[in-house]
Amino acid sequence: MKKINKKVLLLSAFAVFMAIVFIGGAVIAKSENSNNGKFCTMDAKLCPDGSSVGRIGSSCEFAACPNSSASPSASASPSTSASPSASASPSTSVSPSASASPSATSTPKNRGQINAQEHRSVVANFVQSLVHVANRDGGIGEQVRVIAHEQSLSASTTLQAMQIVQTRSKVKTFFLGTDYDNVGALRTQMVMTRNRLTQLSNLMLRTQNASSTEEIRNQVLTLEEEQAKIQNFIDEQENKFSLFGWLVKLFR
């Protein structure tokens, strides 16, 4: 009789657990379906002052440039140089001040979006600044130009991974955890960015141009701060609660 009671208790506990799991999943699914947020494409427009803005709002039109009116048909190609490195500045650049206010940070998803927007803006300024250095400093110019181009491509990969992670289904996250593949892609891009920052620090020692040295130093510090923000984004995603996320990581 005791054995039967134990089996009944175990089966009852398992049934209650599964009921909680499915009810929780249904609630999350309903909440997710009620959120019909629209995601705009991640192209960008370069403003006259050198900053960049992206598409916002339900109409997905470009945000207004600082102290100027927005023109959706404006070109997103930098006018500072015709070289590939100059025209390859991130195609997903958005000015945080133009598209997101602090009041929009009430949910983890919004915080993720703002991090992505900040990254777009920071990398766009980083690339543009390095292009200026490359045009001005013939000694290290070509190497700086290559680094700018590579970081532009890296930014596109980073932004795409961040968007996939932060728009992942809440049901999937609840059961299976975050998108570990794209989190891994973010870590890979961070390592590659650190290598480029090391290269830039070494190039600073080779230039005799004080302006170039100062500009590179400032951009290195800024991008290092951005790296820390991306790491915080990764930690936040990996620390989200999930029922079977530990099992997914075990078999990866």
Domains of the chain listed by start with CATH number: 106-250 (1.20.120)
Do residues 159 and 42 lie in contact, with contact meaning Cβ atoms separated by under 8 Å?
A: yes
Helix (H, G, I), strand (E, B) or coil at 102: helix
**Distance, CA of 97 to CA of 100 (rounded, Å):** 6
Here the tokens at position 192 are 């590659």
Q: Which helix (H) or strand (E) holds 55?
A: strand 52-56
**Distance, CA of 11 to CA of 120 (rounded, Å):** 52
The angle at the Cα of 218, spanning 64 to 80, to the nearest 5 degrees, equals: 50
Tens-digit pLDDT string for the chain (252 aa): 455 577 777 777 777 777 776 676 565 555 544 444 445 555 566 676 656 666 665 667 777 776 654 333 333 333 333 344 333 344 433 333 333 333 333 344 444 444 577 778 888 999 999 999 999 888 898 999 999 999 999 998 999 999 899 899 998 898 889 999 999 999 999 999 999 999 999 999 998 889 999 999 999 999 999 999 899 999 999 999 888 888 887 777
Q: Please, which residues have CB within 8 angstroms of residue 215's CB and are 6 or more apart in sequence?
A: 129, 132, 133
